[in-house]
Amino acid sequence: MRQVKVLGLLGTGVIGGGWAARALHLGIDVVAMDAKPQMESWIRGAVENARAALSRLTLAPLPPEGKLTFTTDLEVMARQVDFIQENIPEQIELKQRVLAQASRVAPADVVIASSTSGLLPSDLQRDMQAPERLLVAHPFNPVYLLPLVELVGGRATSAAALDAAARFYTEIGMHPLRVRREVPGHLTDRLQEALWREILHLVNDGVASTGELDDAIVYGPGLRWAGMGTNLIYHLAGGEAGMRHMLRQFGPCLKWPWTKLEAPELTEALIDRMVEGTQAQAKGRSIRELERLRDEYLLATQQVLKQFDLGAGATLRALEERLYERSGRSAVPGLDAASAGAGGPVRMLDTYVRPEWIDYNGHMSDSRYLQVFGDATDALFRWAGVDDAYRKTGRAMYTLESHVQHVAEAKALEPISVATQVVELDAKRVRLHHSLHRRRDEAVIATGTQLYIHVDTRGGHAAPFEPSVHERLEGLRGAHAASPS
């Protein structure tokens, strides 16, 4: 299966827009296909609406944003992409027909994934060519923030297709969950459906309103579920004896008539109660307003969980580590220190001015200069060997001084780069000089000088560099000292 540089979208509704936003943000080009021409403006609006939240998901250095194109021709899309994500309505005959058409055009090594929330991949594969590359990849809204994607193979699905899909979704910051065998509704929707049935019964019987039932989750189980699932939480409920004690103590409750397995009839009266309840909860706020509110708390929750390496926070942390590693690898790939610095300062970072970095004057705000210089420093240190594995051994670089001189303006979406040189080095300290450039004309926007000290974090004191790290930094220092620049 091929490396995914261009993602094809088959259908551009809410889920398609979420896929587009996530992929574009992480440097993947997107070709979106929809039979309705008016959906082009819709998906571009969806991507723009997601931009504010996505821009704050991580501060790790990102690749250049991908390019979005739109077509109403399925075959045009299928011929030029490396991976196809299908998002059309949940109608089995429609999906079978469209997927079969796509399979006759897309090369056999292009994985085709369906976002279906409950249909079986074996049914979707029925009329396809090369059906072994079809699988279900069921995401959750908003796709650009929620990392879960359920991967389900059908009877004809190959292990290679599932592996390739898992690699791609991991690369764009998702948590691929492989479902062991296909079942209607996969895993998560079956769990959600059980809760949903109980909600309908409780509202239908006049026991609670929609707002009261949401409170019952938001202020209790929902907070626990964000970092630990139901099973691990119940394991804790058993005390030191864990799940075994919990089941012995609370297991008999399963025989009590607490829940109802069948959903109530969706009468007009019940529908009215559900609508009235959720409208009251919305308090006059539009769907777009509520989407932005949802995005804000999802961002905050993931950032908190990241500190503890739990749940979606662990997925975000893993994505950031890959982004930082990629930044370090791309800075001076495959070069030794002398040749890397022979031409003067080494370009350590290529990025762009993100819109949220702009201050009230329309320029990049002060703190972002230090962030960009810090990302360049991180790339240099990773190249020299000071990476996450190195830090886990109890050694790290600490900042002693930072000086920034502003020369020109940096505006939103301006492509920029940072060139770095080693100007001083001793056994424990290194001084770096950075220059920030506009890529369109290589004009200098700002310069920065930073002094770092190597620290034994377990002992809490300065310590000499590891010999291999010092050797690489010294190679750059010597090359830079000899360079005419």
Q: 145 vs 279, which has greater pLDDT?
A: 145
Domains 188-284 and 335-482 share a fold: no
Distance CA 443, CA 328 (A): 24
* Cβ–Cβ under 8 Å, residues 84 and 105: no
* Statement: residue 394 has pLDDT above 60: yes
* Statement: residue 342 has pLDDT above 70: no
* Statement: residue 148 has pLDDT above 90: yes
Confidence of residue 332 (pLDDT cuts 50, 70, 90): low
* Statement: residue 159 has pLDDT above 90: yes
Give residue 479's pLDDT: 85
* Cβ–Cβ under 8 Å, residues 416 and 438: yes
Give residue 333's pLDDT: 46
Report the percent of the chain where pLDDT is more than 90: 61
Give residue 334's pLDDT: 45
| Per-chain mean pLDDT for the chain | 89
Distance CA 295, CA 304 (A): 14
3-state secondary structure the chain: CCCCCEEEEECCCHHHHHHHHHHHHCCCEEEEECCCCCHHHHHHHHHHHHHHHHCCCCCCCCCCCCCEEEECCHHHHHHCCCEEEECCCCCHHHHHHHHHHHHHHCCCCCEEEECCCCCCHHHHCCCCCCHHHEEEEEECCCCCCCCEEEEEECCCCCHHHHHHHHHHHHHCCCEEEECCCCCCCCCHHHHHHHHHHHHHHHHHCCCCCHHHHHHHHHCCHHHHHCCCCHHHHHHHHCHHHCHHHHHHHHHHHHHCCCCCCCCCCCCHHHHHHHHHHHHHHHCCCCHHHHHHHHHHHHHHHHHHHHHHCCHHHHHHHHHHHHHHHHHHHHHCCCCCHHHHHCCCCEEEEEEECCHHHECCCCCECHHHHHHHHHHHHHHHHHHHCCCHHHHCCCEEEEEEEEEEEECCCCCCCCEEEEEEEEEEECCCEEEEEEEEEECCCCCEEEEEEEEEEEEECCCCEECCCCHHHHHHHHHHHHHHHHCCC
* Statement: residue 169 has pLDDT above 70: yes
- Residue 137 pairs in a beta bridge with 151
Give residue 360's pLDDT: 87
* Statement: residue 413 has pLDDT above 90: no
Calculate Rg over the CA atoms of the chain: 26
Query: Angle at Cα 405 formed by Cα 402 and Cα 407, nearest 5°?
Result: 155
- Residue 86 pairs in a beta bridge with 10, 114
Give residue 461's pLDDT: 95
Confidence of residue 283 (pLDDT cuts 50, 70, 90): confident
Tokens coding 436:
């920030």
Tokens coding 289:
């307003």
* Statement: residue 42 has pLDDT above 90: yes
Q: 300 vs 83, which has greater pLDDT?
A: 83
CATH topology for the 188-284 domain: N-(1-d-carboxylethyl)-l-norvaline Dehydrogenase; domain 2 (1.10.1040)
Judged by average pLDDT, the poorest of 153-157, 302-306, 333-337 is: 333-337
253-270 pLDDT, tens per residue?
A: 767 777 766 777 878 888
Give residue 10's pLDDT: 97
In whole angstroms, how far apart are CA 128 and each of 76, 106, 287? 18, 11, 38
Domain coordinates in residue numbering, the chain: 6-178, 188-284, 335-482
Give residue 291's pLDDT: 85
Judged by average pLDDT, the poorest of 162-171, 380-389, 423-432 is: 380-389
User: Could you name the CATH architecture of 6-178?
Assistant: 3-Layer(aba) Sandwich (3.40)
In whole angstroms, how far apart are CA 411 and each of 27, 48, 110, 224, 354? 20, 18, 38, 42, 9
Mean pLDDT of 57-66: 89
Give residue 483's pLDDT: 66
Judged by average pLDDT, the poorest of 110-114, 213-217, 284-288, 303-307 is: 284-288
Confidence of residue 343 (pLDDT cuts 50, 70, 90): low
Q: Which residues contact 235 (CB under 8 A, 6 or more apart)?
A: 242, 243, 246
Give residue 146's pLDDT: 93
176-185 pLDDT, tens per residue?
A: 999 999 999 9
The domain covering 335-482 belongs, at the CATH homologous superfamily level, to Hotdog Thioesterase (3.10.129.10)
* Cβ–Cβ under 8 Å, residues 351 and 324: no
230-244 pLDDT, tens per residue?
A: 877 778 777 777 777
Give residue 260's pLDDT: 67
Give residue 24's pLDDT: 97
Q: Choose among 33, 10, 6, 266: nearest CA to 116.
A: 10
Q: Choose among 161, 177, 150: nearest CA to 128.
A: 161
